[in-house]
Amino acid sequence: MADAAVIFDVDGVLLELTSAEEDAFFVPFEQRYGLKNLSRDWNSYAVRNDENIIGEILSSHGIADRERTEVVADYLNILHQRLESGVIETIAIPGAHRLLENLQGKLQIGTATANLLSAAELRLRHANLWQHVSAHAFGAEGGGHKRKILARAIAAINLPTHRIVYVGDNLNDVEAGLSNGVHFIGFSINPDRLDELKRAGASHLSNNHLDTFRLISHLLKE
């Protein structure tokens, strides 16, 4: 087994998050409870984690937490149906396929996403990326900030942190990488986002996955 690993965030790194995919997340709240115009600003929630966000929305509207299971089931069903029917098109970040193919067999590969893992799997399968990251895939299940999700992935991979690279596109990803002591690469095709990641402490930045591959190789060289 490879003695080094790379862990990827999903949205913004492997997949684009489209408005149609966001819509699917909020449909169960409207269908079940008539809740409309819920915030689409993920940073507006106390914990940027799908499991926690669902719980926060239910709590803030006086709905019992036991309803969370039904909301999740509805969301996954809606997402599946819309992917199968073509209403939702899963869009891979340019270069993501080639990056994962180039890493396959050389490193252990996984994901640490704040999406529900079942939802991330559906989307990654449609983009033909799931098989590359499925061995060490961790998502929102279990709750917590991104640093906790990443910590679960690191524990499963069971390698020294200096042999692990985490690639993310958000400020909470920077914090997760730094707090867990792994190498961190801030990725974005948006120059303003890259500046934000740099100001937050990201020492290594990439705006294309050819550079991402080069950085991973550099950071993990003996």
Res 2 pLDDT > 90: no
**Which residue carries 């803030």 as its tokens?**
60
3-state secondary structure at position 113: coil
Res 160 pLDDT > 90: yes
Res 161 pLDDT > 80: yes
**Which residue carries 């909020």 as its tokens?**
26
Give pLDDT, residue 85: 97
The confidence band for 222, taking pLDDT boundaries of 50, 70 and 90, is low
Pairing verdict, β 5-8 and 108-112: parallel
Give pLDDT, residue 27: 97
Helix (H) or strand (E) holding 131, with range, is helix 130-133
Mean pLDDT of the chain: 96
What is the average pLDDT across 150-168? 97
Q: pLDDT tens-digit profile of 85-104?
A: 999 999 999 999 999 999 99
Q: For 168-180, b where at least 16 C-beta lie within 10 A, e where not — what string? A: bbbbbbbbbbbeb
Res 58 pLDDT > 60: yes
Res 57 pLDDT > 60: yes
What is the average pLDDT across 14-18? 97
